[in-house]
Chain A
Amino acid sequence: MSLARRKILALGSGILATLSMPAIVRAAPVEVIEMRGTSRGERVWFRPHGLAVTAGTTIRFINRDPGNSHTATAYHPDNFDRTRRIPKAARPWNSDFLLPEESFEVTLTVPGVYDYYCIPHEMAAMVGRIVVGDPGDAGWEGPSTDTEDVSLEVFDALPMVEAILDLGRIEQEGDT
């Protein structure tokens, strides 16, 4: 067997070995959601505020607003007794206050729709929606239909699930 042929076979074995590695060994996907604000705080927002990811994706929230602190807080009874707006089987999260350039991570494994908000800025409709997987996934839970626990402004600010799935990510108009 020639050296070249041996090298090709070795390379092929390596590729096969990589492809057959258990998923846990491969790097888990990470998506970043930034907390943003204008310099005088007239507007605050998550960027993107609509995001589609696969199950097992880690979401990293980073505060990129130099003049404010923000939270990423799941709508869930564990967080200030709010009405649940994440899948029932999912674990809620609350980043607590993040100062500028601080970050927080959460890994989402349960398929479905997750709505979250910023504690000091919910009244300014600083909210976001993450869609994990798609409606064909086992255990999928669609968006909450509750309209009692959130304001109309918050409800309107949440992107439609279909739009998130179509586009992958949604940013607000004028977002930079």
Chain B
Amino acid sequence: MLRSYMLSATLLTMSAGFALAHDTEALMESPPGEPYVQVSDVLPLPEFLPGLGTLFVVPDTLPAGPFLAYDHDGKLSATVYMTPLEALSSGTAYNDLHVGSHEVTSVDVYYNAGHPGVDEPHAHVVLYHDADAKGRLAQ
């Protein structure tokens, strides 16, 4: 009986893993498709943001994201989270956030004073998905 439960749990974990892998595969090239929207289509921001690239987000996940960051060739280069500092200090936690890709080569965390969409001081948490990603998103 116990063995049966363990097998079921293992299968469930495996199937979830496959589903997640499939989902992230679909996000590797721009545009990622619904429910993602291009940030510059819905907010007054440049199409390509130096340092962040072309961003897509599911509106329901604002402000934290994830924001999917694509380079000029439409390759997924980073996953970005934006967490308001006041909300964090007030006890808000942003848990179990999705990732655009399971491969992460480095992470940058830095302060941002605000911009349309997240117009309060917040942190940018940037997960780069390959070693050259930061360079491709720079300009």
Residues of A within 8 A of B (CB): 37, 39-44, 66-69, 96-97, 99-100, 119-121, 123-124, 126
Distance (Å) between the CB of B90 and the closest chain A CB?
15
Complex: A44 Cα to B111 Cα, angstroms: 12
**Beta-carbon contact of B51 and A67 below 8 Å:** yes
Picked from B46, B50, B119, the residue with its CB within 8 Å of the CB of A39 is B50
Picked from A67, A99, A123, the residue with its CB within 8 Å of the CB of B119 is A123
**Beta-carbon contact of B46 and A66 below 8 Å:** yes
**Beta-carbon contact of A39 and B51 below 8 Å:** yes
Interface of A is mostly: loop
Q: Does B1 contact A (CB under 8 A)?
A: no
Interface of B is mostly: loop
**Beta-carbon contact of B112 and A41 below 8 Å:** yes
Q: Does B49 contact A (CB under 8 A)?
A: yes
**Beta-carbon contact of B119 and A121 below 8 Å:** yes
Contact partners of B120 in chain A: CB under 8 A: 123
**Beta-carbon contact of B51 and A124 below 8 Å:** no
**Beta-carbon contact of A42 and B46 below 8 Å:** no
Q: Does B136 contact A (CB under 8 A)?
A: no
Contact partners of B110 in chain A: CB under 8 A: 40, 42
Distance (Å) between the CB of A119 and the closest chain B CB?
7
Residues of B within 8 A of A (CB): 44-46, 49-52, 110-116, 119-121, 124
Contact partners of A43 in chain B: CB under 8 A: 113
Contacts across chains A and B counted by CB atoms under 8 Å: 59
Contact partners of B52 in chain A: CB under 8 A: 67
Residue of B nearest to A63 (CB): B46
Distance (Å) between the CB of A67 and the closest chain B CB?
5
**Beta-carbon contact of A124 and B45 below 8 Å:** no
Complex: A37 Cα to B113 Cα, angstroms: 9
Contact partners of B113 in chain A: CB under 8 A: 37, 41-44, 121, 123-124, 126
Check A69/B46 contact, CB under 8 A, given A42-B113, A44-B113, A121-B114.
yes
Complex: A121 Cα to B115 Cα, angstroms: 7
Picked from B45, B111, B121, B124, the residue with its CB within 8 Å of the CB of A68 is B45
Complex: A97 Cα to B52 Cα, angstroms: 20
- Name 17 A/B residue pairs within 8 A (Cβ), A-sorted: A41-B112, A42-B111, A42-B112, A43-B113, A67-B49, A67-B52, A69-B44, A69-B46, A69-B116, A97-B116, A99-B44, A100-B46, A119-B119, A120-B115, A123-B114, A123-B121, A126-B113
